[in-house]
Amino acid sequence: MTHLLRDPWRETVLLFRAVQAGLCVAVLASAAVAEAEPIPADLKFRDFYQLPIGPRGLAPSARLLSLDGQPVRITGYLAHQDGASAAPGIALLTPLPVSLGDEDESFADDLPPATLYLHLAGAQSADTVPYRPGLVAVSGTLQVGAQPEADGRISFVRLLLDADASQRLIRPEPVPAVPEKSK
């Protein structure tokens, strides 16, 4: 079950008690739907990998591995991509705003290692996710493991969105302004 959460702010607080204090999200799903489904676990980007980093690179945390295949929810930013680097059916959720596609540094280098690939559901798999600034909260089924993506990169962690949430993600709607305190 995936939720793309839309306003209002009051509903956000009700839906995401576990989201850290002060965090603002764009609420794109209804509370009624949320209550009918299993409560997804809260996942944070800092939960992805172990600290410190080992001589052979990052290692997934026990928590990330334990949530593989489980419903989770997470808040982050949609990566801003130019037309050449974006691919239909997927979007990249990052822990901070990033802009990809600069020739100077190449596209791969601006992407934080803790990047979550959002996969739209089948009916929307050919659609392109429009960029929207600010934080968005999403939920779906977590998938951990390397996999080639349509944009040429290889993902490590993915979130498989359901049809309802996918539709909301590609719908060009005005996004509530993010309060300054949450930036």
Partner 1 sequence: MNRPAVHFLLAGALVAATAAAQAAPSVSRLVPPSELFASNNPNPPVIARFLPGQRFDLQATVKLDAGTTLASFEFAVDGVALKPAAGITSVVTTGLTLPAGTNAAVVSQRAYSNAKPGIHRLTVNALQSDGQRTSATGNFEVVALTGAGRKAKNIIILLGDGMGAAHRTAARIMARGYAQGKAHAALAMDTFPSTGMVMTSSLDAIVTDSAPGMSNYVTGNKAANNQEGVFPDDTADAFDNPRVEYLSEYLHRTQGKALGIVTTADVFDATPAANAVHTSNRGNGTGIVDQFLDDRGLTGLSVLLGGGRKWFLPNGDALKADGSRNGQAVNGSQRDAKTDYVLPADLVAGWGAAPGAKDPGRDLIGDFQRAGFAYAPDRLGLAAAGDADKLLGLFAYSNMNVAFDKINKRRGVSTVVDDYGFPDQPMLDEMAEAALKVLSKKKQGFVAMIEGASIDKQAHLMDTDRWLLEVIEFDRAVQVAKDFAAKHPDTLVIVTADHECSGAAIIGASTKPVATIRAAAAPADGASAPSAATLRDPVVGVYQAAKFPKYTIAADGYPQSTDVDYKMLIGYGANADRYESWLANATPTQDSQQPFVGQAPQSGYPANPNVRNQGAGFLVTGQVPGDQAVHTATDVPLSALGRGSALFSGVMDNTDVFFKIALSAIRGTK
User: Which residues bind to partner 1, rule: CB under 8 A?
Assistant: 44-46, 49, 51-60, 64, 76-77, 94-96, 98, 102-114, 143-148, 152-154, 156-157, 183
* 33/177 with CB nearer partner 1: 177
* 21/36 with CB nearer partner 1: 21
Residue found under tokens 């930036």: 183
Rounded to a whole number of angstroms, the minimum distance from the CB of residue 20 to partner 1 is 9
Q: Which DSSP symbol is given to 124?
A: G
Is there a cis peptide before residue 8, judged by omega within 30 degrees of 0? yes
Which DSSP string corresponds to 52-85?
A: S-BTTB--B-HHHHHTTTSEEEEEEEEPEE-TTT
From the list 181, 86, 81, the residue with the least C-alpha distance to 135 is 181
Rounded to a whole number of angstroms, the minimum distance from the CB of residue 119 to partner 1 is 14
Produce one character per residue of 46-69: b if its CB has 16 or more CB atoms within 10 Å, e if not: ebbbeeeeeeeeeebeeebeebee
Rounded to a whole number of angstroms, the minimum distance from the CB of residue 160 to partner 1 is 13
- C-alpha to C-alpha distance for 9 and 91, rounded to whole angstroms: 24
Rounded to a whole number of angstroms, the minimum distance from the CB of residue 15 to partner 1 is 22
* 14/18 with CB nearer partner 1: 18
Rounded to a whole number of angstroms, the minimum distance from the CB of residue 172 to partner 1 is 26
Residue found under tokens 């949320």: 34
Span between the terminal Cα atoms of the chain, in Å: 27
* 34/86 with CB nearer partner 1: 86
* 98/175 with CB nearer partner 1: 98
